[in-house]
Amino acid sequence: MPTSLHKADWIAVDWGTSNLRAWAMTDQGEILAHANSPDGMGSLPPDGFEPALLRLIDSWLGAGTTPVIACGMVGAKQGWAEAAYAKAPCPASSDTLTRAPTHDTRLDVRIIPGVCQPDPADVMRGEETQIAGYLAHDPNFDGILCLPGTHTKWVHISAQEIVSFRSFMSGELFALLSQNSVLRHSIGDDGWDDTAFADTLDAVISRPETLAARLFSIRAEQLLHDQSPQVARARLSGLLIGAELAAAKPYWLGQPVVLIGAPQLTKNYATALAAQGVTPTVKQGDSLTLAGLTAAYSAQKDSK
Amino acid sequence: MPTSLHKADWIAVDWGTSNLRAWAMTDQGEILAHANSPDGMGSLPPDGFEPALLRLIDSWLGAGTTPVIACGMVGAKQGWAEAAYAKAPCPASSDTLTRAPTHDTRLDVRIIPGVCQPDPADVMRGEETQIAGYLAHDPNFDGILCLPGTHTKWVHISAQEIVSFRSFMSGELFALLSQNSVLRHSIGDDGWDDTAFADTLDAVISRPETLAARLFSIRAEQLLHDQSPQVARARLSGLLIGAELAAAKPYWLGQPVVLIGAPQLTKNYATALAAQGVTPTVKQGDSLTLAGLTAAYSAQKDSK
């Protein structure tokens, strides 16, 4: 249970499928406290959201009402309150937040909507807030934001709007294949091989039609040729990121690209893009989420 | 426990990762009895194979020694006894069987080796016996055998030899994605849509580089456009079989193709190949496994 002597002016919340993260904030943008819990949207019943939030932030609340600004899967249909998607093309920061029902009168919870794209059908929840955070500091950016993760997003930004975007399941596929498929016998939990990553990536980008034939080879190379678990790990990553880059080529080709995420996620994408002649800028994702939540809080406050 | 008044002249065994299947046979090829158990190679310790087999076939054994011919993962390194791979190009039926160590003197167990291919690295265990069974009835076949399954095999046959082959993880990927990924929320346990399958297949074969972008759309189409679980199921299958056909094109293009497997597995491959102008012949897999085991038994007997 986090404790703090300071009461928060407002509270920023990033509430995903697997995790809940909160920051106690001042109106001046100072972070008074930070707390995490594993109470992600995926593990909570509909009436479990308010208690889960209070367990984390109760000590930050004063006697009056404290505004809470939340983003992520908390706004999904199975979340606390459904925040209907904004439809791309649209600004990254919506001014239509959804109020979540609360029993505790100290809470005023507003949820930032995700963004949808009708054709090709796609959705995001949470990434739009990181994007808004990025644009808060670089409002004139025109180019591509790539946010690697379980479901990596490639996003075309122009004139402060999300013009179009596309999601890729490479992160989830890597986890499933390396932990739950026959390849698990051949792939190490960690370790890496730069050459194996580069070679596999190059082979898939130049001949994407060969992708499906290359997966089982990761198993067979270990059985027949004693391929190391580290090489196997790098090859699987090279296959999946290579397939993603082949499909996302209309996004990154000839464009300025900014990678947003944790260093261990952005590193391989940066290497892969560099091999294609693209030199991306890399930004930490965490600070941008908070910047986006702060921008949404400020906009709400100014509109009152 | 199966019982039989007849004692077997020999016993045919198909021993895979998940299942053990056995047939009590006469020298004339008559099936006296058939039995299954879930004692697959994947669930047995090294000393568990002989007891697992005896539980299934004890009542078929006479006072003397009964030959047992086995194929499949029972011959893997983690199996009963490692049967070293034959190396392609090679005949489908090897005459070098590996004897498994037994305590019960009524058993003489011989394991058929799998087939490996050094480059591109690939392996099979069990399919070679189905192939041998097919060739026992059609020895002059020259073309492609496709054996759909968890790890589908495409095999080039010429002059009674396995010339080359390639494995695809489409079956395992379908299971993982439809049951363990975010797509599980959108995909039905059964049902089908012919048009969705055909359209998705065509899109991936004509533009294989778009594969990675199409997976998450299966989720988004349901969220945004109420795509049915049946359509989602057919689309995922179309994506994976489409990616496989794109990669396996050097095998099937302009070649006679025979599909070997259970009807529910071969049906979608037959539809997909037909859309590419290939009209495959379809054969049941079970009877071919037994035919291959019978051919191996006869060859062993003749060589004595």
Per-residue pLDDT tens for B55-92? 999 999 999 999 999 999 999 999 999 999 999 999 99
Mean pLDDT value of segment B191-213: 95
Query: What was the pLDDT predicted at B4?
Result: 47
Question: Is A225 in contact with B121 (Cβ distance < 8 A)?
Answer: yes
How far apart are the C-alpha atoms of A13 and A289, rounded to whole Å? 9
Cβ-proximal residues to A134 (8 Å cutoff; 6+ apart), any chain: A141, A145, A258, A260, A283, A288, A291, A292
* Chain A residues touching residue B221 (CB < 8 angstroms): 121
According to the model, what pLDDT value does residue B286 have? 84
Residue to mutate among B151, B153, B211, with most A CBs inside 10 A, is: B211
Contacts A240 to B, Cβ<8 Å: 212
Distance from CA of A240 to the nearest CA of B (A): 8
Chain A residues touching residue B224 (CB < 8 angstroms): 85, 116, 118, 121, 123
B229 Cβ partners below 8 Å, 6+ apart?
B186, B187, B188, B191, B222
- Which of 3.40.50.300, 3.60.20.10, 3.40.50.720, 3.30.420.310 is the CATH number of B167-283? 3.30.420.310
Q: Above pLDDT 90, what percent of chain A?
A: 94
| Residue of chain B nearest A239, judged by CA positions | B212
Best mutation target, B172, B174, B207, to test chain A (most A CBs within 10 A): B172
Of A120, A170, A208, the CB nearest to B208: A208
Given this chain, do its domains B10-125 and B167-283 carry the same CATH topology? yes
Region A17-38: mean pLDDT is 96
Scanning B122-151 for CB atoms below 8 A from A yields: 122-123, 150-151
B1 pLDDT higher than 50: no
Say yes or no for a CB contact (<8 Å) between B213 and A248.
yes
Q: What is the pLDDT of residues A224-268, one digit of tens each?
A: 999 999 999 999 999 999 999 999 999 999 999 999 999 988 999
**Residue recorded with tokens 């209309």:** A250
* Mutate: best of B78, B122, B187, B269, partner A, most A CBs <10 A: B122
Q: Would you say the C-alpha torsion A271, A275, A279, A285 has a positive or negative sign?
A: negative
Say if residues B278 and B252 touch (Cβ distance below 8 Å): yes
Output A142-145 pairs: Cβ under 8 A, ≥24 positions apart.
A142/A256, A143/A255, A143/A256, A143/A257, A143/A258, A144/A251, A144/A252, A144/A255, A144/A256, A144/A257, A144/A258, A145/A257, A145/A258, A145/A260
A6 with A25: CB under 8 angstroms? Answer: no
Average pLDDT, chain A: 95
Q: Cβ A216–B247 below 8 Å, yes or no?
A: no
Site from A147, A219, A224, A253 to mutate, B interface, most B CB atoms within 10 angstroms: A224
Residues 74-93 of B with CB under 8 A from A: 85
What mean pLDDT do residues B163-188 have?
A: 96
**Which residues are within 8 A (CB) of B267 and not within 5 positions of it... i.e. 6 or more apart?**
none
What's the full length of chain A, in residues? 304
Residue of A nearest to B151 (CA): A216
Contacting residues of B for A220, CB less than 8 Å apart: 116-117, 120-123, 167
- The shortest CB-CB distance from A168 to any of B121, B180, B212 is to B212
CB A117 within 8 A of CB A88: yes
Partner residue opposite B168 with nearest CB, options A120, A209, A213? A213
Q: What is the pLDDT of residues B217-243, one digit of tens each?
A: 999 999 999 999 999 999 999 999 999
pLDDT at B194 > cutoff 50: yes
Q: Is the CB of A213 inside 8 Å of chain B's CB atoms?
A: yes
Contact A69, A293 (CB under 8 A): yes
B225 to chain A, any CB pair closer than 8 A? The answer is yes
Residue carrying structure tokens 């299954």: B36
What is the distance in angstroms between the Cα of B302 and the nearest Cα belonging to chain A?
32
For chain A, give the percent of residues with pLDDT over 70: 98
Dihedral of alpha carbons A261, A263, A268, A269, sign:
positive
Q: For residues A144 and B145, what is the distance between their CA atoms, to the nearest angstrom?
A: 45
Condensed to tens digits (0 to 9), the pLDDT of residues A96-133 reads 999 999 999 999 999 999 999 999 999 999 999 999 99
Which residues does chain B have within 8 Å of residue A217's beta carbon, measured at their own beta carbons? 120-122
Cβ neighbours of A221 in B, within 8 Å: 121
Task: Over range B160-187, report the average pLDDT.
Answer: 96
The sign one gets for the Cα dihedral A253, A258, A264, A265 is negative
Second-level CATH architecture of A168-283: 2-Layer Sandwich (3.30)
Among candidates B153, B154, B170, B243, which has minimal Cα distance to B202? B243
Residue pair A141/A155 in contact by the 8 Å Cβ criterion: no
Query: Is the confidence at residue A6, as pLDDT, over 80?
Result: no
Alpha carbon of A223: minimum distance to chain B alpha carbons (Å): 8
CATH number of A10-125: 3.30.420.300
Torsion on CA atoms B254, B260, B261, B265, rounded to nearest 10: 10
Residues 169-188 of A with CB under 8 A from B: 169-170, 172-173, 176-177, 180-182
A220 shares contact with chain B (CB less than 8 Å): yes
Q: Do B169 and A182 touch (CB under 8 A)?
A: yes
Name the residue in chain B with its Cα closest to that of A246: B209
Q: Which of B184, B267, B297, B238 is nearest to A172 (CA)?
A: B184
Tokens of A135: 């644009």
For the whole model, what pTM was predicted?
0.94
Q: Write down the pLDDT at residue A4.
A: 47
How many angstroms away from the CA of B221 is the closest CA of chain A? 5
Report DSSP letters for chain A, one per residue. Answer: ----SSPPSEEEEEE-SS-EEEEEE-TTS-EEEEEEES--GGG--GGGHHHHHHHHHGGG--SS-EEEEEESGGGSTTSSS--PPEESSEESS-S-PEEPP-SSTTEEEEE---EEETTTTEEESSHHHHHHHHHHH-TT--EEEEE-STTEEEEEEETTEEEEEEEE-HHHHHHHHHHHSGGGGT--SS---HHHHHHHHHHHHH-GGGHHHHHHHHHHHHHHH---HHHHHHHHHHHHHHHHHHHTHHHHTTS-EEEES-HHHHHHHHHHHHHTT---EEE-HHHHHHHHHHHHHHHHHHT-
Residue B243 at interface with chain A, using a CB cutoff of 8 Å: yes
Alpha carbon separation from A185 to A189, A211, B124, B179, B204 (Å, rounded): 11, 20, 16, 21, 30
C-alpha gyration radius of chain B: 21
* % of chain B exceeding 90 in pLDDT: 93
Residue B249 sits at the chain A interface (C-beta within 8 Å):
yes
Whole-number pLDDT of residue B113: 98
Residues A141-186: tens digit of each pLDDT: 999 999 999 999 999 999 999 999 999 999 999 999 999 999 999 9
| A1 pLDDT more than 70 | no
Domain ranges of chain A: 10-125, 168-283
Report the complex ipTM. Answer: 0.94
State the DSSP string of chain B.
Answer: ----SSPPSEEEEEE-SS-EEEEEE-TTS-EEEEEEES--GGG--GGGHHHHHHHHHGGG--SS-EEEEEESGGGSTTSSS--PPEESSEESS-S-PEEPP-SSTTEEEEE---EEETTTTEEESSHHHHHHHHHHH-TT--EEEEE-STTEEEEEEETTEEEEEEEE-HHHHHHHHHHHSGGGGT--SS---HHHHHHHHHHHHH-GGGHHHHHHHHHHHHHHH---HHHHHHHHHHHHHHHHHHHTHHHHTTS-EEEES-HHHHHHHHHHHHHTT---EEE-HHHHHHHHHHHHHHHHHHT-
